[in-house]
Structure 1
Amino acid sequence: MTEEEIVRYLRGNPAFFDRNADALAEIVLVSPHSRRTVSLQERQAELLREKIRAFETRLMELLRHGADNTVLADRLLRWARDLFLEHDATRVPMLIADSIQQQFAVPQVALRVWDVAAAHSSAPWVQGATEDIRQFADALYEPFCGVNTGFEATAWLPHPEQAVSLALLPLRMPQAESAMGLIVLASPDAQRYSSTMGTDFLIRIAEVASAALSRLR
C-alpha cells in the first residue's frame, strides 16, 4: 500500500484505533524538538501546542493592530474636529498641513489648492500648482505611495532633498472628475511610504481635507 492509501484508509475508518488500541500505544515517533522518541499521543499533543502558540501569536498581532487602528482613528477625529472649528477659511490649508505633521508624525507636509475664489488667488498655498501637477493630480484616483523619483510637487516641501519616500494625496469633491488640490507627505525613510502599503487611511485624510477646503471655492 502507498502512504496515500494508508492515510485514506485511516480517514475512512476512524474506529480503527478503537479496535487496535494496543497498536496505537506501541507507535513511537521522533520528536523534532528533543530528538527523543515519543508516543503518537505525545506527538499529537506537541502538534496541538504548536498550533495553540501560532494562534496566540496571531491573536496578539490582531490585538496590536486593533490598538494601533484605534489610536489612528482617534487622531483622525481630533484632526477633523480642529478643521471644523476653524472659522477663518484662509487658515484651513496651513492648518491641514501643520496638524497632519503633528498628529501623524509626518516629517514633511505640503499642499496646494487650485480653482479657488479670486479672493484667495495670491495665497501661498495656491502658488506653484503648475499645469503638469494638476494633470498628474487629475489622473490620481487614490493616493500614490512610493519612492520619490523626482516628483515636481516635492518643490513645495521645506526640504525637498530629504524626501526619499512620498505619499501624494489627490484632493477632490465626491464624484468630481478633476482634482482641486494635492497633499504631499514626505519622509527620509524609504520604507515609510511604500508601494505595497494600504491606502484606506490616506483616502480618509484626503476626503476630510477636501471637504474642509471646499469653503475656498
Structure 2
Amino acid sequence: MSIQGITEQDIANYLANTPGFFERHAELLAAIQLTSPHGQRAVSLQERQMEMLREKHKGLELRIIEMIRHGTENVSIADKLHRWTRAIMLTHNPGDLPDVLVAELKHQFMIPQAAIRIWGAAEVFNVLPFAKSVSEDARSFAASLTQPYCGVNSGFEAAQWLADVATVMSLALIPLRVRQDDPAFGMLVLASPDPTRYSADMGTEFLSRIGDIASAGLSRLLPVA
C-alpha cells in the first residue's frame, strides 16, 4: 500500500529508526486495535503483545518438556545398556556368552527375537548351537557390512536362525568383528513383527555400539593367535 508516495515499508523503517516516536505519542498505543488470533474481537496493541509473549512462552515450555523427555529416555537406554554389558562381563564360562548376550539383549530392550552365529570360534565350541554351519554367502554378506543393516526381511539366511521366522517383518543384522578392519567372525540378528521397528532410514549408531560390545565380549571365543 502506498499513500502519496509513502509505502508501508517506509513507515516501518521510520518507526524502527525512531524509537522515541511512541514515547512522544503514547496515546497511539492505547488507540491501536488489532484482531486477536483467538477470535475476531479487537484487542489493544498491549494485549496483542501479551498474547504473543504467552504463545512464545508456551512454545518454550513445550520444547523444555520435550528435552526433559528425551533426557529421561537417554538415561533409560544408558541404564539398559549398562545392565546388558554387566551381564556379559559377569559370564565366566565363554561358551555361555552367546546365550547370555542374546537373552539379556531381548530382555533389556524388549526385542521379540534375536539370534547369533559365530564361525570364527575355537574348535572346542564347535558343538554348541551358536557355531552351527553358516553359508559362505552369509559370511561374505557379514564381511561386506560396514555398519548394521536395517530393513525388511527379504529372505536373509540370518532370519532362518530365529525361532519363528514367519512372524519377522523387519530386522537388524549386526556384523561382529574385533577391530573395524578385521573380517567378521559372526553376526547378530535382531527381529520384530513390526515392519517399522528396524527401518532402512533409521540411525544405526546405537546398533553399532551394541555390535562393538558384543564383539569385545565374544572375542573370548576366538582361537588364541
Query: Fold conserved (TM > 0.5)?
Result: yes
Aligned position for 1:10: 15
1:62 aligns with 2:38: no
Once the two structures are TM-superposed, the CA of residue 128 in structure 1 deviates from its matched residue by: 4.0
Is the alpha carbon distance of 1:5 and 1:183 closer, same or farther for their aligned partners in structure 2, counting shifts above 3 Å? farther
Aligned position for 2:167: 162
Aligned residues of 1:128 and 1:156 also touching (Cα < 8 A): no
Counterpart AA for 2:153: N
Task: Quote the Cα distance in structure 1 between the aligned partners of 2:53 and 2:133.
Answer: 62
Aligned position for 2:77: 72
The number of aligned residues is 217
Aligned position for 2:3: none
Task: Quote the Cα distance in structure 1 between the aligned partners of 2:65 and 2:105.
Answer: 29
- Gaps of at least 5 residues in structure 1 are none
1:87 aligns with 2:92: yes
Q: Which of 1 and 2 has greater Rg?
A: 2
1:36 aligns with 2:41: yes
Once the two structures are TM-superposed, the CA of residue 119 in structure 1 deviates from its matched residue by: 1.6
Once the two structures are TM-superposed, the CA of residue 121 in structure 1 deviates from its matched residue by: 2.5
Is the alpha carbon distance of 1:113 and 1:12 closer, same or farther for their aligned partners in structure 2, counting shifts above 3 Å? farther
Once the two structures are TM-superposed, the CA of residue 88 in structure 1 deviates from its matched residue by: 0.5
Once the two structures are TM-superposed, the CA of residue 180 in structure 1 deviates from its matched residue by: 1.8
Task: Quote the Cα distance in structure 1 between the aligned partners of 2:87 and 2:211.
Answer: 15
Counterpart AA for 1:112: R
Is the alpha carbon distance of 1:177 and 1:14 closer, same or farther for their aligned partners in structure 2, counting shifts above 3 Å? farther
Task: Quote the Cα distance in structure 2 between the aligned partners of 1:31 and 1:71.
Answer: 43
Task: Quote the Cα distance in structure 1 between the aligned partners of 2:9 and 2:121.
Answer: 72
Once the two structures are TM-superposed, the CA of residue 157 in structure 1 deviates from its matched residue by: 0.6
Aligned position for 1:101: 106
Is the alpha carbon distance of 1:113 and 1:5 closer, same or farther for their aligned partners in structure 2, counting shifts above 3 Å? farther
Is the alpha carbon distance of 1:106 and 1:24 closer, same or farther for their aligned partners in structure 2, counting shifts above 3 Å? same
Is the alpha carbon distance of 1:210 and 1:4 closer, same or farther for their aligned partners in structure 2, counting shifts above 3 Å? farther
* Identity percentage of aligned residues: 48
Residues 19-52 of structure 1: per-residue CA shift (max 9 Å, x gap): 3322222111111112211111111111111111
Counterpart AA for 2:48: R
Aligned residues of 2:119 and 2:133 also touching (Cα < 8 A): no
Counterpart AA for 1:17: F
TM-score, with length taken from structure 2:
0.89
1:19 aligns with 2:49: no
Larger deviation, residues 119-128 vs 186-195: 119-128
Aligned position for 2:194: 189
TM-score, with length taken from structure 1:
0.92
- Gaps of at least 5 residues in structure 2 are 1-5
